[in-house]
Structure 1
Amino acid sequence: MASQKMKRSMCTALATGVLSLTLVAIPAMPASADPVVANPTEALERLAELSRQSEQTTEALHNAQIDLDGKQSAQRTAEARLASDRELLAAAGARIDQFRPAVGKLAAASYQGARTNRLYALMVSDSPQQLLDQMSALDAISNETAKAVSGFKQATSEAAVAAEASRVSADAARAATEQAKLVSDELQNKQSELQKQIDSVTRAFDQLTGAERAQLAGSPFPAGFDAGRILANLAPGSGSAALQAGLTQVGKPYSWGATGPDAFDCSGLVVWAYKQIGKVLPRSSQAQAGGGTPVDKGQLQPGDVVLFYNDASHVGLYAGDGNVLHASTYGTPVKVDSMASMPFYGARRY
């Protein structure tokens, strides 16, 4: 009865807020010291509560790390674009410098009253041949002048475009850096909060008797579950192969942030199982909830990724017959449980 009551308590533990790919609120920790428990049932319920809070924080950390990685990638891209734009700006400036002397001479000549048109050539020519010679010279001067002016205008325009692109890239690089710093700082705060929760859980676990720890660990499989039959009836597919790999880890301990092979947290077990068949899944349960293909609860197949609680903060692999393979909580090794022991959130097929 105590085990059933503990499981019901774990099923009904409230998870506040919806965790996103950005920053996620940390479940509040009790302000007072750990209370003295009066009986084994209360001790197990207290441990279940603390473990649930820690698991939420763990998955929030995984999600925050994904967000941080994205921000840092954006920062690197923006910085590379900035360097490229600055090179273009320098090249445009060099082209302006090439045309500047010719354009400067033209401006000076015009200011001093130079005449470079055909009418002027006609007026000052003494003979037809002199007129032709002067007109040819004027044509050459005109062509060179036009080229210089055109090149100068183009180079100036390119410089203006490069300068604006450089400014935009600089702003983007600065914004990406600031975002990455904010996420990094928040991640450090989350890690600090998680460590406090972990310390509370381990202190509570240390107070349990051997019998209470055995009660918490429970059976590796629910009553009537036939792992051999499930494996024998698995249809070929990536999900079934991932489940088969995951079932080999039954009995391994739960550990926050662990991805195997010696210990796992919930999303770490899913990542590890799919990695064995060459598929890379996101690190957090919330990110796993956003990938793959949605699957209705009534259409589940062995190996589908199944998520629980209203914030998708727990995850496992569908093991058939309404059961889930998961790394459940601290003090409980990897096992197969009935899905009815936790509130269903959704499922994805990878």
Structure 2
Amino acid sequence: MFAAGVLATCGGSPAGADPTVAPSSAGDAIQRMIDLSRQSEQLNQQALDAQSDLDGKLAVQHDADAKLAEATQKVADAKDEVRRYQPIIDRTAIAAYQGARTNRLFSVLLSDSPQQLLDQISTLDLISAQTADQLDRFKKAAETAGAAESTARTADEAARGAAKKADAVRTDLERKRTDLSGAITDVVQAWTGLSTRDKATLAGTPFPPGFDRDSLLKGLVPGSGTSALAAALTRIGDPYVWGATGPSQFDCSGLVQWAFKQVGMEVPRTSSQQAGFGTPVARDQMQPGDIVFFYSDISHVGIYAGNGLMVHASTFGVPVAVAPIGATPFHSARRF
């Protein structure tokens, strides 16, 4: 596949093609198109990663805000409880300050009869028990209020920190989206400038010479990986679109995610996230259905089809196709 071969010359980073410089030949025009597409693919994956990061930060912020609201309500409830016992505590404190005599000796001195003494002692015991119980409840309510306020302060700090991180990621995402938008414009302009013949050369063929899709499908052993490969093979010829996840247009990681979703497996959205999913597989141990990653920044991914081939959504102007994995700088492989 010609496009895959040209891609191999791009290395692990954007070539920085200048869309304002007119190509000197058809080959140069195609190469510029590939260079720009490679850059846009990197930016697309970076923007998707930033969006995923933002979603995570917003979830943390939402959780922190919920905990802050809960802690604030607990502070209010605890203070209400303190206020409920405060009048009783105030009256007890005032009575003690004014010298109120409520002990048993005072009752003996003032009693006119044994029965009156017993009655006074019983009353004093009851008052003492009630006061002690109320004092204990007041103390617990005050402690609860203090703990709730401490928790609320911690929750407030967490919420502020989460919001700050989310804002920083949001700013980064907006910048990446702006960069991607500019890159896409350059790619589309470069593609528009290609001749019909050059566009056909860029698109290449859906299968390499001698590839037999039907024979491959018949030889697959049912399983999540091989079943996902079979699903991906049904999308041959669908266009590459930045950020697309199917069902009829894809970017590279969108195709992988869609294929595994067809067999009931949820996998991460971006190529870098997918590179941490599943189990590592050595290059010489790869089997059809394994996932292969490319470039040092893991900005491209495909599904291994065996015999050194993969199914992937390559780049703008190149439909989903089967291509050699050796045409792109190999990074790693995983088994989902």
Q: TM-score range by the shorter chain?
A: over 0.9
User: Could you list the runs of 5+ residues in structure 2 that have no partner in the other structure?
Assistant: none
Tell me if structure 1 keeps the 8 A contact 2:7–2:328. Answer: yes
1:37 matched to 2:34: no
After superposition, where does 1:320-331 map in structure 2 within 5 Å? 320-331=306-317
Q: Distance in 2 between matches of 1:9 and 1:171?
A: 52
Measured against aligned partners, the alpha-carbon deviations of 1:133-162 in whole angstroms (never above 9, x if no partner) come to 222111111111101110100000111111
Over 3 Å counting, the alpha-carbon distance change for 1:39 and 1:33 in structure 2 is: closer
Q: Distance in 1 between matches of 2:335 and 2:123?
A: 79
Deviation at 1:126, TM superposition (A): 4.0
1:273 matched to 2:259: yes
Moved over 4 A (4+): 6-9, 27-30
Q: Distance in 1 between matches of 2:329 and 2:102?
A: 89
Deviation at 1:130, TM superposition (A): 2.9
Q: Of the candidates 233, 242, 247, which is equivalent to residue 233 of structure 2?
A: 247
Identity over aligned pairs, percent: 46
1:40 partner letter: A
Tell me if structure 2 keeps the 8 A contact 1:29–1:197. Answer: no
Measured against aligned partners, the alpha-carbon deviations of 1:295-333 in whole angstroms (never above 9, x if no partner) come to 222222222121111111100111111111000011111
Tell me if structure 1 keeps the 8 A contact 2:19–2:190. Answer: no
Aligned to 1:20: none
Over 3 Å counting, the alpha-carbon distance change for 1:270 and 1:33 in structure 2 is: closer
Q: Distance in 2 between matches of 1:189 and 1:87?
A: 39
Q: Distance in 2 between matches of 1:342 and 1:151?
A: 72
After superposition, where does 1:76-87 map in structure 2 within 5 Å? 76-87=62-73
Over 3 Å counting, the alpha-carbon distance change for 1:8 and 1:334 in structure 2 is: closer
Aligned to 1:134: 120
Deviation at 1:215, TM superposition (A): 1.1
1:128 partner letter: P
Q: Distance in 2 between matches of 1:28 and 1:69?
A: 31
Q: Distance in 2 between matches of 1:303 and 1:120?
A: 93
Measured against aligned partners, the alpha-carbon deviations of 1:72-103 in whole angstroms (never above 9, x if no partner) come to 11111111111211221111111111111111
Q: Distance in 1 between matches of 2:170 and 2:193?
A: 35
Q: Of the candidates 215, 221, 229, which is equivalent to residue 207 of structure 2?
A: 221
- Aligned length in residues: 336
Secondary structure at 1:222's aligned position in 2?
coil
Aligned to 1:293: 279
Aligned to 2:292: 306
Aligned to 1:11: 8
After superposition, where does 1:1-350 map in structure 2 within 5 Å? 7-15=4-12, 33-350=19-336
Measured against aligned partners, the alpha-carbon deviations of 1:103-125 in whole angstroms (never above 9, x if no partner) come to 11000001001123233333443
Q: Distance in 2 between matches of 1:161 and 1:266?
A: 51
Deviation at 1:129, TM superposition (A): 2.8
Q: Distance in 2 between matches of 1:148 and 1:208?
A: 88
Secondary structure at 1:336's aligned position in 2?
strand
Q: Distance in 2 between matches of 1:293 and 1:318?
A: 15
Greater CA deviation, 99-108 or 180-189?
Answer: 180-189
1:132 partner letter: L
2:284 partner letter: G
TM-score by length of 1: 0.91
Secondary structure at 1:219's aligned position in 2?
coil
Q: Distance in 1 between matches of 2:6 and 2:105?
A: 102
1:77 partner letter: D
User: Could you list the runs of 5+ residues in structure 1 that have no partner in the other structure?
Assistant: 17-26
Over 3 Å counting, the alpha-carbon distance change for 1:168 and 1:107 in structure 2 is: same
Measured against aligned partners, the alpha-carbon deviations of 1:55-78 in whole angstroms (never above 9, x if no partner) come to 000001111111111111111111
2:10 partner letter: A
Q: Distance in 2 between matches of 1:298 and 1:28?
A: 30
Q: Distance in 2 between matches of 1:80 and 1:28?
A: 47
Measured against aligned partners, the alpha-carbon deviations of 1:176-197 in whole angstroms (never above 9, x if no partner) come to 2222222122211111110111
Tell me if structure 1 keeps the 8 A contact 2:16–2:35. Answer: no
2:107 partner letter: A
TM-score by length of 2: 0.95
- What is the CA RMSD across the aligned residues, in angstroms? 1.8
Greater CA deviation, 72-81 or 296-305?
Answer: 296-305
Aligned to 1:23: none
Tell me if structure 2 keeps the 8 A contact 1:34–1:200. Answer: no
Over 3 Å counting, the alpha-carbon distance change for 1:29 and 1:196 in structure 2 is: farther
Over 3 Å counting, the alpha-carbon distance change for 1:7 and 1:319 in structure 2 is: closer
Greater CA deviation, 241-250 or 258-267?
Answer: 258-267
Deviation at 1:168, TM superposition (A): 1.5
Deviation at 1:167, TM superposition (A): 1.5
Q: Distance in 2 between matches of 1:83 and 1:258?
A: 38
